[in-house]
Amino acid sequence: MLDITRDRPIKIAVRVQVPVRDHPKFNFVGKLLGPKGNSLKRLQEETMCKMAVLGKGSMRDRKKEEELRLSGDPRYAHLSEDLHVEISTYTAPAEAHARIAYALAEVRRFLV
């Protein structure tokens, strides 16, 4: 339940599944990050949301990723899940939902 009369900031986080199973040969991580991470940085600035590419295949070094996944550290629990993009923002409820909607529309362009 949201209290919209006080406009207290809320945090909203959304996970967007990356269609790796439908297109196994396509490099979605590279497409999302862009050269030196500039595409993701620009997307974050435009949408005013934080974004992170997480899940299996999100790290460059496969051996290191496997070691971290097997370590059992809670910080690396996302490596056991499918590849996804986590989008989050912290602001007033109406603004937060608008930002998330805009971010979802922009991220969709990279995934379709």
How far from chain centre, in Å, is Cα 111?
Answer: 12
What is the per-residue pLDDT for 98? 95
The string of pLDDT tens digits covering residues 30-76 is: 889 989 989 999 999 999 999 999 988 888 888 888 888 888 788 88
Whether residue 81 is predicted with pLDDT greater than 90 in this model: the reply is no
Q: Which domains does the chain have, with CATH numbers?
A: 9-109 (3.30.1370.10)
Burial class (CB in 10 A: 0-12, 13-18, 19+), 56: middle
Q: Which residues pair with 51 in a beta bridge?
A: 87
C-alpha distance across the termini of the chain, in Å: 33
Confidence (pTM): 0.85
Q: Which of 10-24, 62-76, 94-108 shows the lowest per-residue confidence on average (mean pLDDT)? A: 62-76
Query: Computed over its alpha carbons, how large is the radius of gyration of the chain?
Result: 16
Residue pair 9/2 in contact (Cβ under 8 Å)? The answer is: no
Q: Which residues share a beta bridge with 89?
A: 12
What are the angstrom distances between the C-alpha of 48 and each of 8, 33, 58? 18, 16, 22
User: Which position has the token pair 């056991």?
Assistant: 80
Of the two residues 67 and 3, the one the predictor is more confident about is 67
